Amino acid sequence: MVSRRQGGRLLTRPDPSGAQGMIETEMTLSQRYDEVRGRIADAAVRAGRTSDEIFLVAVTKYTEMDQIRELVELGHRDFGENRVPQLVQRAAMIEEFIRRRAALGQDKAIEPARWHMIGHLQRNKARKLGDSARLIHSVDSLRLAEELQLVGLGYEKPIDVLIQVNIAGEESKSGCPLPACEPLADAIESMAHLRVRGLMTMAPYSENPEDSRIHFVRLRELFEDMAKVGFGDGMFNILSMGMSGDYEVAIEEGANIVRIGSAIFGKPKVEEPA
């Protein structure tokens, strides 16, 4: 029999040599993905919600294309990238991969991948992003919003964005200061080619997921207050918070998008020094 260790990193199986004890083996991507989906469902139940309300964005920053393709084959469609060139390139490659699978009849339902820009977006990279991203999570300044407004002139639909909030005021992180969040949303409301859909944040790193709760509560309260105002043509309904280490707490506090990388794809490989 094989048993799964709590935390999802390793499986155990009997030692084939006949010796007493168990051997630890790495979980497959499929097993890690299933575990994350299960934990999302459990956290949703604890919050009185359903897992259908929560979107899982698989973060591909440290991931190989083969792993992304495997996740597509498992039916996953929402992916997040931190860097514009990688997002644009990978979006095109996965679009072609899905098209080929559809042509071969390997997918019952032909659904395109949805790419999320989740990393810091420099103004000079905004135009290069084009329409490759379904949702931009990281608008944190009026100048960036104005640049995206210019980019959006060439599109039929407005560009959907989230305001990234530096909820803990960390100097090392990007994000709009908490008091400036609502004024920035007001400014975006006046831009015909942008639509503010909600808020995004990253809690300070901690080994204890519970340390993130106070920050998620603060953002959820701001989100609820802003939703009552009617931002985004009444479509201010996205709260993006929670990563591999704290996504369950984020869901308990109202997140409906979680951004997860290593819990699905495994820890990034570090090359040994020469």
Average pLDDT, the chain: 90
pLDDT value, residue 15: 54
Helix (H, G, I), strand (E, B) or coil at 81: strand
Q: Is residue 3 part of a domain?
A: no
Q: How many domains does the chain have?
A: 1
Query: How far is residue 245 CA from its own chain's centroid?
Result: 13
Q: Is residue 272 part of a domain?
A: no
pLDDT in tens, 15-25: 555 555 544 56
Full domain range(s) for residue 212: 28-265
Query: How far is residue 99 CA from its own chain's centroid?
Result: 24
Q: Is residue 5 part of a domain?
A: no
Q: Is residue 16 part of a domain?
A: no
The CATH number of whichever domain residue 185 belongs to comes to 3.20.20.10
Tell whether the model's pLDDT for residue 6 goes beyond 60. no
Looking up tokens 């989100």, which residue turns up?
A: 223
pLDDT in tens, 160-216: 999 999 999 998 899 999 999 999 999 999 999 999 999 999 999 999 999 999 999
Of 228, 227, 222, 249, which is closest to residue 237 (Cα–Cα)? 227
Work out the end-to-end distance of the chain between its first and last CA atoms, rounded to an integer number of angstroms. 40
Of 151, 154, 57, 160, which is closest to residue 113 (Cα–Cα)? 57
Instruction: List Cα–Cα distances, 99 to 77, 106, 160, 213, in angstroms.
Output: 13, 10, 25, 41
Which is more confident, 19 or 34? 34
Q: How confident is the model at residue 225 (pLDDT cuts 50, 70, 90)?
A: very high
